[in-house]
A = this chain, B = another copy of it.
Amino acid sequence: MAAPDGAAQPASEGRDDEIVTAAVLIIGDEILSGRTKDKNIGFIADYLTAIGIDLREARIVPDIEAEIVDAVRALSRRYTYVFTCGGIGPTHDDITADAIAAAFEVEIGHDPRAVAILEAYFAERGIESNEARLRMARIPAGADLIENRVSRAPGFRIGNVHVMAGVPSIMQAMMDAVAPTLKTGRKMLSETVPTTLPEGTVAGALGRIQAAHPDTIIGSYPYFDGTRHATNLVIRARDAALLATVADEVRAMVAALAPAT
């Protein structure tokens, strides 16, 4: 269990060859209606990549308990970690904590640690303590709290599922609180080779380089820069020497295919 102040636990040491995986679950009708544009998946993707955890899947589901339960169960079985965002505020549509308790088949009630954090905050700020606000202290039995340095109402961790706020600034503070508790794997490194050659010109040679180096993941990402289509070729590998070798091959391939200037 976390200390009452929600302090992070020491992380397990990741073995250097271990691959640690994760999924993100965004909970909220407002994302699916288009009213709010999600910014959390991209942030968490960057964050996890930086600390050596592979984000393998993301889902967005509505504020419906059965949907949240199904998604949490499916994702928590498959990946080392699950990170949820959204649905832990004080209003009637904030049902994430109840859904997580249902997914883990545990009781849920007002957690004394969370009540203490909230009551102290309310007293300090002259905020009325009411039934709705204290809903934010409802935490599934057996969960650790996740500290919220922005607005105090904590997130929580139960099993391999980390339950965080949907407001990006609060979610980001919670990720910082969670990160030291995570085991991390061998980092995926990447190198980008930009080219103004279209994908169709490099595709054949690029596919041959990928086939020759199965321990790398080579991606081709076309984009339109406003006047023409161009491509970023991204080589990913966990081994720095292999990455450098393959990136050199890709650069040489691009140079050989580029029209003489």
A126 interface contact, C-beta 8 A: no
The answer to whether B206 touches A92 (Cβ under 8 A) is yes
Contact among B33, B62, B132, B218 with A200 in the assembled complex (CB-CB below 8 Å): B132
Band of interface residues on A: 35 or more
A92 touches B34 (CB 8 A): no
1/0 per residue, CB under 8 A from B, across A194-237: the answer is 00001111111011001100000111111110000100001010
Q: Are A133 and B217 in contact (CB under 8 A)?
A: no
A58 CA / B131 CA spacing, docked (Å)? 33
With contacts A207-B91, A210-B92, A219-B93 taken as known, whether A56 is within 8 angstroms of B35 at the C-beta atoms is no
The answer to whether A55 has its CB under 8 Å from any CB of chain B is yes
Asked if A19 lies at the interface with its beta carbon under 8 angstroms from chain B, I say no
Chain A 150-173: CB-based contact to B (< 8 A → 1; otherwise 0): 110000000000000001011000
Determine if A80 is an interface residue (Cβ-Cβ < 8 Å): no
Residues of A109-134 at the interface with B, using a CB-CB cut-off of 8 Å, are 127-128, 130-133
Q: Are B92 and A236 in contact (CB under 8 A)?
A: no
A173-203 contact mask (Cβ, 8 Å, vs B): 1 or 0: 0000000000000001010000000111111
Q: Check A41 for interface membership: any CB of B closer than 8 A.
A: yes
Q: Which of A20-72 contact B (CB under 8 A)?
A: 29-38, 41-42, 45-49, 54-63, 67
- Supplied contacts A38-B41, A131-B204, 6 more A-B pairs, CB within 8 Å: A29-B219, A30-B219, A33-B49, A63-B219, A93-B210, A128-B201
